[in-house]
Amino acid sequence: MEYVINHIPIRKGKRPGTKAKMTSITVHNTGNPKSTAMNERNWLVNPENTRAASFHIVVDEKMAVECIPLDEVAYHSGKAEGNTTSIGIEICESGDYKKTEQNAVELIAKMLVERNWGIDRVRTHKSWSGKECPWRILPYWNDFLGRIQKEMDKLLKKKEQDQVSEWARDAWKWVKDKGISDGTRPKDVVTREEVWTMLYRMRG
């Protein structure tokens, strides 16, 4: 899925421009069966839209659009605490909803892993204000969290695969410096011909 950064300008009731230290992710459904992510983004800057309501990221079947920097306040939770401590993600209801929801699952998993956050950081709009949102996901919320966790496990495993073990660090630096190996894919197995080539390069 494409991740587009297309921030709206500072605007009253939408993007106050206030810096915030985020500690959670809040999930929403747009409640609009027709709007795409770009439609939702553009609605934030439409002069007819005077409601104090906004969000950080909106996801549809094709893309995610970041509308407000993730370290700034947005008006999505109905509570000051939620708006100033939580990243609001809107899930569109247009197009292929199943695909859209899967995009959101993958995006949230990636965001959690990047921040070293656990699944406990994901919450519903309802948990802040009592509003029935994300209304489509609430009936199977725990299953939704389980899907995010599964995706996180995959990413964490990959992260581990890409990490050089502590005991191998000196050797890793040495093979790179000597041009024997590029130092990537540290946990992969090597073939005989690859061993020969490394030895050959070492001889110079």
- The C-alpha atoms of residue 149 and residue 144 are separated, in whole angstroms, by 9
Closest approach of Zn ion to the CB of residue 28, in Å: 3
When the beta carbons of 126 and 180 are compared against Zn ion, the nearer one is 126
Q: Quote the crossing angle between the two packed helices 141-161 and 97-115, to the nearest 10°.
A: 50
End-to-end CA distance of the chain: 44
Under rule CB under 5 A, residue 28 binds Zn ion: yes
Interface with Zn ion: number of residues (CB under 5 A): 3
- The C-alpha atoms of residue 16 and residue 2 are separated, in whole angstroms, by 26
Q: How far is CA 193 from the centre of its chain?
A: 40
When the beta carbons of 26 and 181 are compared against Zn ion, the nearer one is 26
When the beta carbons of 24 and 197 are compared against Zn ion, the nearer one is 24
Which region among 11-19, 61-69, 93-101, 119-127 touches Zn ion (by CB under 5 A)? 119-127
Closest approach of Zn ion to the CB of residue 104, in Å: 13
H or E stretch covering 63: strand 63-66
Closest approach of Zn ion to the CB of residue 189, in Å: 48
SS3 103: helix
When the beta carbons of 133 and 180 are compared against Zn ion, the nearer one is 133
When the beta carbons of 133 and 152 are compared against Zn ion, the nearer one is 133
CB 54 within 8 A of CB 31: no
Closest approach of Zn ion to the CB of residue 124, in Å: 8
CB 137 within 8 A of CB 89: no
Interacting positions 132-191 with Zn ion (CB under 5 A)? 133
Under rule CB under 5 A, residue 125 binds Zn ion: yes
Under rule CB under 5 A, residue 14 binds Zn ion: no
Under rule CB under 5 A, residue 126 binds Zn ion: no
- Find residue 28's DSSP bridge partners: 90
When the beta carbons of 20 and 53 are compared against Zn ion, the nearer one is 53
Spatial strand order in the sheet of 24-29: 2-5, 63-66, 57-59, 86-91, 24-29, 122-124
Closest approach of Zn ion to the CB of residue 122, in Å: 14
Binding residues for Zn ion (CB under 5 A): 28, 125, 133
